[in-house]
Amino acid sequence: MAPPAGQIRPGRYLAIFTLIVAALYSLVFFTGDGKPYPKLGIDLQGGTRVTLTARTLDGRPPSTEALNQARQIIETRVNGMGVSGSEVTRDGNNLVITVPGEGSEEAKQLGQTAELNFRKVTSAVPVQAPPPAGTTPQAAHQQQPGDQQREIEEAKRTRQSTDPNVQMQALQALNCSADDPLRGNDDPKLPLVACDREGKYKYLLEPSFLPGREVANAQAVPPNPAQGQPGWTVNLDFKSEGAKIWADFTSANVGQQAAFVLDSEVVSAPTIQAALLGGNAQITGQFNQQSATDLADILKYGSLPLAFDQSEAETVSATLGVASLEAGLIAGGIGLLLVAVYCLAYYRLLGILTILSLVLSGGVVYAVLVLLGRWVGFTLDLAGVAGFIIAIGITADSFIVFFERLKDEIREGRTFRSAVPRAWTRARRTILSADAVSFLAAAVLYVLAVGQVKGFAFTLGMSTVLDLVVVFLVTHPLVALASKSKFLSKPSVSGLGAVQRLGNQNRAARKAAATTAKEA
DSSP bridge partners of 379: 39
265, 124 in Cβ contact below 8 A?
no
Q: Cα angle at 65 between 60 and 67, to 5 degrees?
A: 70
Mapped to the 3 state alphabet, what secondary structure does 63-89 carry?
Answer: CHHHHHHHHHHHHHHHHHCCCCCCEEE
Phi (first) and psi of residue 246, to 5 degrees: -65, -40
Residues 6+ positions from 114 with CB-CB distance below 8 Å: 212, 262, 263, 298, 299, 302, 303, 304
pLDDT value, residue 358: 86
Distance, CA of 216 to CA of 238 (rounded, Å): 5
Architecture of domain 116-285: 2-Layer Sandwich (3.30)
* Sign of CA pseudo-dihedral 437, 439, 440, 444: positive
Query: DSSP readout, 385-415?
Result: HHHHHHHHHHHHHHHHHHHHHHHHHHHTT--
159, 192 in Cβ contact below 8 A?
yes
Distance, CA of 65 to CA of 519 (rounded, Å): 88
Distance, CA of 236 to CA of 86 (rounded, Å): 28
CA distances in angstroms from 67 to 70, 72, 151, 219, listed in the order given: 5, 9, 23, 27
pLDDT value, residue 307: 75
- How do residues 231-290 score in pLDDT, each as one tens digit? 898 888 999 999 999 999 999 999 999 998 888 889 888 888 888 887 788 887 778 888
Q: Please enumerate, as own/partner, the contacts of 103-109 that have beta carbons within 8 Å and a separation of 24 or more.
A: 103/47, 104/47, 104/48, 104/315, 105/48, 106/81, 106/290, 106/294, 107/48, 107/50, 107/78, 107/83, 107/313, 108/48, 108/50, 108/310, 108/313, 109/294, 109/298
Going from N- to C-terminal start, the domains of the chain cover 10-39+318-513, 47-108, 116-285
Phi (first) and psi of residue 442, to 5 degrees: -65, -40
pLDDT value, residue 477: 93
Is residue 33 packed enough to be buried (19+ CB in 10 Å), middle (13-18) or exposed (0-12)? exposed
CA distances in angstroms from 56 to 60, 111, 281, 283, listed in the order given: 6, 14, 31, 29
Distance, CA of 120 to CA of 270 (rounded, Å): 10
149, 58 in Cβ contact below 8 A?
yes
Mapped to the 3 state alphabet, what secondary structure does 109-154 carry?
Answer: CCCCCCCEEEEEEEEEEECCCCCCCCCCHHHHHHCCCCCHHHHHHH
pLDDT value, residue 133: 44
Distance, CA of 25 to CA of 32 (rounded, Å): 12
Using a cut of 0.85, tell me whether the model's pTM lies above it: no
pLDDT value, residue 230: 83
Is residue 48 packed enough to be buried (19+ CB in 10 Å), middle (13-18) or exposed (0-12)? buried
Comparing CA positions, the residue from 45, 34, 32 lying closest to residue 104 is 45
In the chain, which residues have pLDDT < 70? Answer: 1-7, 57-59, 79-85, 101-109, 112-114, 129-148, 298, 301-303, 311, 316-321, 450-452, 519-520
CATH code assigned to 47-108: 3.30.1070
282, 223 in Cβ contact below 8 A?
no
178, 140 in Cβ contact below 8 A?
yes
3-class secondary structure, 190: coil
Comparing CA positions, the residue from 455, 399, 402 lying closest to residue 426 is 402
pLDDT value, residue 303: 66
Comparing CA positions, the residue from 262, 129, 288 lying closest to residue 200 is 129
| Alpha helix stretches (DSSP H) within 319-381 | 319-347, 349-375
pLDDT value, residue 471: 92
Q: Please enumerate, as own/partner, the contacts of 22-26 that have beta carbons within 8 Å and a separation of 24 or more.
A: 24/364, 24/367, 24/368, 24/371, 25/367
- Would you identify the CATH topology of the domain 10-39+318-513? Multidrug efflux transporter AcrB transmembrane fold (1.20.1640)
Mapped to the 3 state alphabet, what secondary structure does 4-25 carry?
Answer: CCCCCCHHHHHHHHHHHHHHHH
Distance, CA of 255 to CA of 273 (rounded, Å): 6
Query: DSSP readout, 197-257?
Result: TTSSEEEEEEEEEEEGGGEEEEEEE--BGGGTB-S-EEEEEE-HHHHHHHHHHHHH-TTSB
DSSP bridge partners of 271: 257
221, 235 in Cβ contact below 8 A?
yes
Distance, CA of 108 to CA of 105 (rounded, Å): 6
186, 156 in Cβ contact below 8 A?
yes
- How do residues 428-460 score in pLDDT, each as one tens digit? 999 999 999 999 999 999 888 766 688 888 989
Distance, CA of 476 to CA of 444 (rounded, Å): 30
Distance, CA of 457 to CA of 445 (rounded, Å): 6
* Sign of CA pseudo-dihedral 441, 444, 447, 451: negative
